[in-house]
Amino acid sequence: MSPVDGKAAMSGLACVSADLLDLAHEMEQVASKMEYYGGFDAEIVRHAKELEGAAEIARGWAKGIRASITPRQHETKEDACG
C-alpha cells in the first residue's frame, strides 16, 4: 500500500467509525421505542435489550477504530466521508 493509499484508508476508517457511531445511536433509539411500545411483551423487551447490547458493541468497535488512526485523521464525518 502506497502512502497515498494509506491516507485514503485512514480517512475511510474515520468514515467507518463515524458510521458505526451513527448506527449505534439509531439502534439505541429503536430499542427505546421497542421497550416503550412493546412494554408488556416480554419477547419484544428482551430483543430491545439485545439491540441495546449490540449498539454498545458497535460503539466499542468505533472507539477501537478511532484509537487506531492518528489524531490528525480524526476529522468530522463530513470531512471523512464527503
Per-residue pLDDT tens digits for 13-72 = 999 999 999 999 999 999 999 999 998 999 999 999 999 999 999 999 999 999 998 665
Quote the CA–CA distance of 56 and 18 in Å, as a whole number. 14
CA proximity to 75, closest of 10, 26, 5, 25: 10
Supply the pTM of this predicted model: 0.76
Q: What is the CA radius of gyration of the chain?
A: 16
pLDDT for position 58? 98
